Amino acid sequence: MLNRKNTFSEPVRIFDTTLRDGEQTPGVSLTPDQKLEIATHLSEIGVHVIEAGSAAASAGERQSIKLISDAGLSAECCTYVRALAQDIDFAADFGADSVHLVVPVSDLHIEKKLRKTREQVSAMAWSAVEYAKDRGLIVELSGEDASRADRAFLQELFREGIDRGADRLCFCDTVGLLTPERAAELIPPLCMAPLSIHCHDDLGFALASTMAALKAGATCAHVTVNGLGERAGNTALEELVMSLEVLYGHATGIRTEDLYHLSTVVSRLTGVALATNKPIVGEMAFTHESGIHAHGVMRDASTYESIIPERVGRKRRIVLGKHSGSAAVETALHEMGYRPDAGQLAEIVQRIKQLGDTGKRITDADVMTIADAVLAIEFAPALELMQFTIVSGSNAMPTASVTLTVKGEEITCAATGNGPVDAAIRALQRSVSDVGTVRLEQYHVDAISGGTDALVDVTVKLSKDGVSVTSRGARTDIITASVEAVIAGMNRLLREEKHEDRSENSH
Regarding beta strands 383-393 and 396-406, do their DSSP bridges make them parallel or antiparallel, or are they unpaired? Answer: antiparallel
> pLDDT value at position 288?
58
Show Cβ contacts of residue 433 under 8 Å, excluding neighbours closer than 6 positions: none
Which one has a higher pLDDT value, 392 or 131?
131
> pLDDT value at position 256?
96
Cα–Cα–Cα angle for 119, 122, 123, nearest 5°? 85
The SS3 assignment for 383 reads strand
pLDDT in tens, 92-107: 999 999 999 999 999 9
Q: For 383-494, CATH number? A: 3.30.160.270
pLDDT over threshold 70, residue 450: no
Q: 24, 90, 20, 88: which is closest to 51 by C-alpha? A: 20
Confidence tier at 307 by pLDDT (50, 70, 90): confident
Distance CA 260, CA 116 (A): 45
pLDDT over threshold 70, residue 177: yes
pTM of the predicted protein model: 0.74
CB 182 within 8 A of CB 151: no
Distance CA 319, CA 284 (A): 10
Distance CA 213, CA 464 (A): 44
CB 434 within 8 A of CB 441: no
Neighbours of 395 (CB within 10 A): 4
Q: In what order do the strands lie in the sheet with 383-393?
A: 383-393, 396-406, 409-416
Distance CA 68, CA 58 (A): 16
Distance CA 324, CA 339 (A): 18
Which one has a higher pLDDT value, 170 or 437?
170
What phi, psi does 122 have (nearest 5°)? -60, -45
pLDDT (mean) for 294-322: 67
pLDDT over threshold 90, residue 315: no
Distance CA 101, CA 125 (A): 8
pLDDT over threshold 90, residue 148: yes
- DSSP assignment of 159-203 equals HHHHHTT--EEEEEETTS---HHHHHHHSGGG-SS-EEEEEB-TT
What phi, psi does 231 have (nearest 5°)? 55, -110
pLDDT (mean) for 161-173: 98
Q: 277, 272, 193, 241: which is closest to 16 by C-alpha? A: 241
CB 20 within 8 A of CB 52: yes
pLDDT (mean) for 96-121: 96
> pLDDT value at position 441?
86
Which one has a higher pLDDT value, 307 or 155?
155
Q: Which amino acid is at 220?
A: C
Question: CATH fold of 13-270, please?
Answer: TIM Barrel (3.20.20)
The SS3 assignment for 266 reads helix
Lowest mean pLDDT among 106-110, 146-150, 459-463: 459-463
pLDDT over threshold 70, residue 468: yes
> pLDDT value at position 275?
87
Confidence tier at 291 by pLDDT (50, 70, 90): very low
pLDDT over threshold 90, residue 198: yes
Element (H, E) at 296: helix 291-299
Domain ranges within the chain, ordered by starting residue: 13-270, 287-374, 383-494
